[in-house]
A and B are shown apart, each in its own frame.
Chain A
Amino acid sequence: MATRHRNLFLYLTLLCFFGLITIFIVDGYMGIYDTLYITAGEREQKIEFETGEPGERFWSAGVNRGEKAFFRYEVDNRQFSSHTAQVEVSVWRMQEKVLDILSQPLAADSFAKAQLEWVIDPSQLLPGDAPPEQGYEYTVKIKRGELERNVILFISPAPYVPKPPLPVR
């Protein structure tokens, strides 16, 4: 009787342990995770949307004026069923759409990844009369099905180049 009682605690310990493992696998690993890679200025920035702080809806990235920003949107489907969704990417400023980047379906098999790539050229976004010393912020909206991701893209001002001195007469 004493042995059975003693082993009961051991079994309960094992039960808790396997419960922990199950929670980590089902809740922590399984699911659909999307990641955005932004390469601008020879640096790659990785944004993991699912691991952000709760309530966080905006992430930011920067690009120098005159350079392009290369985006790679990756969906990691860690489910037993395949995942298909329509992905729409657009650029917004002050609640107004500036540019449609792409709109196409994305399909990921079970336990596989799928990705989309696009390029944003700041010259396509900036107004014609944009002063070079001013920075601009745009919102890149990535809509996958019902889910919306917003990334603020900061276009830095052009580097200041001093004018050559006037020749002395």
Chain B
Amino acid sequence: MKLEYVLFGFGILFCLAGVGYLAAEYVKNLSEVGKLISLLLTVAMFAFLSKYFEDIGW
């Protein structure tokens, strides 16, 4: 069970690192619509992730 949490932790870390890298490198090239959709997707992603953690009892 604990190993699962560690793996989840790594997964989340890699996701955040990946998005952070892409954001730092390529956000300047995004169009206005692309920026807006990215913002909405980021908010939705964290909302769903929070809901998931809430459901598993965190």
Contacts and interface: CB of A to CB of B under 8 A. Distances in A.
Interface size class of B (residues with CB under 8 A): 20 to 34
A58 interface: no
Contact of B26 (A6, A9, A17, A24): A24
Nearest to A50: B29
Contact of B55 (A6, A16, A51): A6
Interface residues of A, number: 22
Main secondary structure of the interface of B (DSSP, over half): helix
Main secondary structure of the interface of A (DSSP, over half): helix
Contacts of A50: 29
Contact of B41 (A16, A27, A54): A16
Interface of A: 2, 5-6, 9-10, 12-13, 16-17, 19-21, 23-24, 27-29, 31, 33, 50-51, 54
